[in-house]
Structure 1
Amino acid sequence: MLQSIHDQAQSWVAWVIVGLLIIPFALWGINSYFDGGSGAVVAEVNGTEISLNEYQRSLQQQRQRMRQLMGADYRPEMLEDPRMRRAVLDAMIENDLLNQAVDGDGFRIGDELLYWQLQRTEAFRGNDDKFSQDIYKQVLSSQGMSQPFFESRIRSDLMQSQLLTGFRQASFVTESELREAVRLQEQKRSLRLLTIPASVDRIESKDVGDDEIAAQYEINSVAYEIPEQVSLDYISLSVADLAGDVPVEVDALQKLYEQRKESLLADEERHARHILIELAEGADEEATAAAQARLNEVQAKLAAGDSFEALAEHYSDDPGSAAAGGDLDFFPRGMMVPEFDDAVFSMQVGEVSEPVRTPFGFHLIRLDEIQAEEIRTFEDVRGELSAELKRQTAEDLFFEYAETIANLAYEQPDSLDGAAEAAGLVVRQSELFNRQGATNGVATNPGVIKAAFSDMVLVDGKNSDPIELSEDHMVVVRVREHRPATRKPLERVRAEVVDAILAQRARATAKNSGMELLDKIQSGAVGTDAAAESVALQWSGVEQINRSDKTISSEVVARAFQVNLLKGQKAYAGTELRGGGYALIELLAVEDGSFEAMGDKQVEVMRRELADRNVKSHYQSYVASLRNQADIKVYEDQLN
């Protein structure tokens, strides 16, 4: 994979490249770069409107990202929380504020960097995994999107990353800050633990009366409820499915190939390696001298016959290519910054360049191969051309069938059979699901869930209106089966209710016992050994845990590092455990982290972490100042 030196400008602080979270994007995600359309407005940022359409698309993209990140733990209702929905809008507001700020401050993105971003976007690649101008234009055209508008959005996102690069270059960490961070971050603590379990055997009484059972059953009725559920009949129409059934004749492909042959050029590409000695523009004399010294050292080793690949792995500051011996793979002219580009495309195979200065630092470049410009063969582009013809036909069919389905689903509200037959589709069935939706299938979509439980579909028994899952995928649903919410009879869950009551008592007993013992130990009323004997338990020793220790519970680790220890003394603390129970902590010793004991790489990692924290803090302050100075209007009634 191409590891462009541009990657550094983006990857250094990836957490802030708001607009590039979706790139490379799958086709469903491309909608975020398309005009939000007219209609209701959810917010205004210094006069710039955020439409309801844009907001809903952002919600859908956030759902997709959460589903991918959380897997089986994802629940559709998570984004129904008003706080989560507002967080999505706040992110959109901040994005607009940043776009306005970088534009006003004169940030600009050159064509080379824009081209590089488009090159790495998967949606625009052909079967050879390379950028295809034809596919690029086709995708934009299919979405009703102009190339200039789309590219202006990409430039805006990249300008935001430039802003963050500026924050990083202005950030520095003093040695005293670094030493203090090492002292605290690498600190180790030794302690003893007395863990009082939340055990039913420790409670005074296991007797549970009928009144208490009934009260618990009523108070926690939701825990014993089978929620309302429905299953659906539905028909699904998508461009992707239609395209799969579209036949393409070889003659049609050959004809299209001949029409486009002259434009199907594979640009000359060059395969190079490089060693980057990082040096920011405008660096001071000390930093410049240090970089020059490293550069001289590398050149001397090259002259002595050392392997370019080995030197790149050891010396190069490009995190994307260093581990691969500086390999940048093949790339066409215009992908790299001009200075780098000009050097590579003026070299002979096997040649090692003199130092090339770019905004990233000094580069030593070796040219390994040249792939000459040539017309791509029919077989090379056959897959792309076939996909294009299939999609064009499928898109025409999609709009034709979508209209037919919408009309018949409305005219025949008691059945989907007529609409399905007219469009050559089959009526599918979903599994039962509740108002929170399903973990897979059509009922993961919020629009489908909302429609399924709407009065029109659930109460009146009609077909839904067409539901847009994406720009090129729609469904119509109707209720197949409805199961009202029911509560399990008390007789059926009586044992569960009793267990819940006893578990509550056990947790309360453990907590009360632990807090009482902690008070006695801290006051000197009882010693540690006597405290353990009073609850028939023993202390266990834990030596030199660090802040990321996984051998004991995270609650204990967090509490242990909150306690101050005076020299020559011991300290005591306690904490409830997430799974029930209570832990008493006896802090015995604290060993500060040693700056001198850390290796150079560890120190550098720590320095970068601190710098990133500083950047994040400055960035957040900057965004906060933009918000404070901005004229922001939020129309709450449009958010739900």
Structure 2
Amino acid sequence: MFEAIRKHSKIVMFLLFLLVIPSFVLVGINSNYFSEKSPVVARVDGQKITQADWDNAHRTETDRIRAQSPNVDPKLLDTPQARYATLERLVRDRVFAAAAQSAHLVTSDARLARSLQEIPAIASLKRADGSLDAEAYRALVGAQGLTPEGFEANVRRELSLNQVMGGVIGSTFATDTATRLAFDSLYQRREIQVVNFNAADFAKQVNPSDADIEAFYKANASRFQQPEQASVEYVVLDLDSVKAGIRVNEDDLRTYYKENLTRLAAKEERRASHILINASKDAPAAEREKAKARAEELLAQVRKAPASFADVAKKSSQDTGSASAGGDLNFFGRGAMVKPFEDAVFTMKKGDISDVVESDFGYHIILLTDIKTPRQPTFEELRASLEAELKQQQAQRKFAEVAETFTNTVYEQPDSLKPVADSLKLKIQTATGVTRAPAAGATGPLANPKLIEALFASDSLEGKRNTSAIEVGPSQLAAGRIAAYSPARTLPLEEVSARARTLFVQEKALELARKEAESKKAAWSSNASAVSGLSAAVTVSRDQSQSQPRAVVDAALRVAPDSLPGWAVADLGAQGFALVKVLRIVPREAADPQQAAQQRQQLQQWWTTAEGYAYYEMLKERFKVQIKPARPQAAAL
């Protein structure tokens, strides 16, 4: 039977075509025909948002960000937090669309046209008669993968959605009184005194036994873990390694010297004097003609008596900077003067007087008084620099070819880096204690996250195989392999006993410092005469800490105003604790008019954000928003 099918395969395919295609025509192709139904991840106003909708939206958002920022790490765009943010944006757009439809918010053709004209890229397409260059407009929106109709539909939709929040955001305001009250509270000033209870002062009271250390070690085993580590080998291909294998031909070097002598030699300089008759390029034509005629008169005068050039310049030149020196401009090289002036000077011979030269400044009569021609350096004088330049150029041209060999060799001979090192005369470098995250302050290839990630990939880690060639810098490739690997493990107590003892003492000393601060707080709150050791009073606020730790300022501001003077304990971390006495609230100085205006604007922005968020949350309730996936936890720093 199968033999018959093979012999008549074309006939069988034709029959299948006749049977299958009509069924699609009559029944239609269901969107889920070739795949399972996409699960629902959210609902807005009864409308579903599926996993496919979410994936497509995130793909579009990722493509947009990568187009704007090509160097962004793709991994940052595919984190759970980034994907969830896309879902929230998708839900927000659906909420605004539902609100716009419910409120019958539409964008008129006139409003659309006005908005399009406000887009700089489109406004620049206007012709002189005010009409729009339709072909250029089509090309502009086509670069975004849209037709003009599709682009305008998107803009119309965005304008309609913006109306949903526009009324709320545009109606917020802040009064002077509200601003003053808000900033008086935010930057409230309090007079305080402080006494510190440093943990180090209590350490001598802690004398742990071996049993204490062992119990602490067992209770805190995670703090004594050694992360997974690897010893690695790696090779680097860069321009320097390519240059090392280049030998410059003597004939090529001499040819390069001849071709670049003009560039490498010192520049010729010329000395000239001039007579200038001012006439700016924006001056009326009649004024410029008059100035030109005057310059022609002076030209005839100095050509008749060249020795009088300096005297004529002193009397008639309108260049106040050089007239007093007889028009002398001293020596200058190319690029120092305006182009018409320079072009004239560098075509003249010594002693020549030019025709009238027109520039943006007016009309010049030029006398070339001297030429300074520098000595040309010899080949031997430039040999070292020429060889370095030529090697660099040849290395840049050869790098792509060598890079391909490097890439192919580390892939085709994956069990060792020796073949690629021998082939390209590279040095195999080693490193120990390499972890999945580049070490702080690391430099070179092992500071590159892509190479580290490739080293700890399963193929490299389990098979001890070479990584692929990784670009770790401009014109720089690297490949590596794991030579030895140590998985994460809890270090035995024998190795970390000293560290365990130090940590134990630190924790117990901190606890003693906290208890002492709490004890003094209780005692001094009820007996003011027992207070001792407090610092001199200082006035602090959120914007003026007076060198006090942030924890001290925060603790002082948490004390209730109606209980002053009052006490608070501030946690200073590993340093210990501080006991803070809050004496009184100190009135803030009145803000100057400019500062008050800035504060009012800032408060209005805060109100705008808060009211916009509250209104959006109300819309989410109104349109019964449901988001099924849980918000992912923020990544640990």
State TM-score, norm by structure 2.
Answer: 0.48
What's the TM-score, normalizing by structure 1?
0.48
**Quick check: which has more Rg, 1 or 2?**
2
